[in-house]
Amino acid sequence: MAYPEVVVDFRRDDSLPGAREVDLSEDDLVLLSELAKGVTVDRVGRRLDISGRTVRRRLRGICDRIGVATAIEAVAWAARRRLI
């Protein structure tokens, strides 16, 4: 059985929904980037010199702005758009 060839294009794709509609700050992208690396929320807070609670609040705001429900979805959303 032959499988079809899968081609993945990793270039930034502004045609994806929300790519231009949402304006994430540099701090938002750093937060998402750290989470993508597997860093805990509390450790991200220490690295950014803010509390873990503030990280969670900012993350909730990011999720609300981009229209996703979880931090994992937010990281995936940003990664698909090559923002992180």
- Residue 82, sorted as left (phi over 0), alpha (psi -120 to 50) or beta, turns out to be left
pTM of the model: 0.73
One digit per residue, the tens of pLDDT, for the chain of length 84 reads 565 554 444 444 455 555 456 789 999 999 999 999 999 999 999 999 999 999 999 999 999 999 999 999 999 999 999 999
d(CA 67, CA 65): 6
* DSSP structural state of residue 14: T
Helices (H) and strands (E) in the chain, counts: 4, 0
Residue 50 CB-density burial (10 A; 0-12 exposed, 13-18 middle, 19+ buried): middle
List, in order of start, the domains of the chain with CATH numbers: 32-80 (1.10.10)
d(CA 79, CA 84): 5
d(CA 53, CA 36): 18
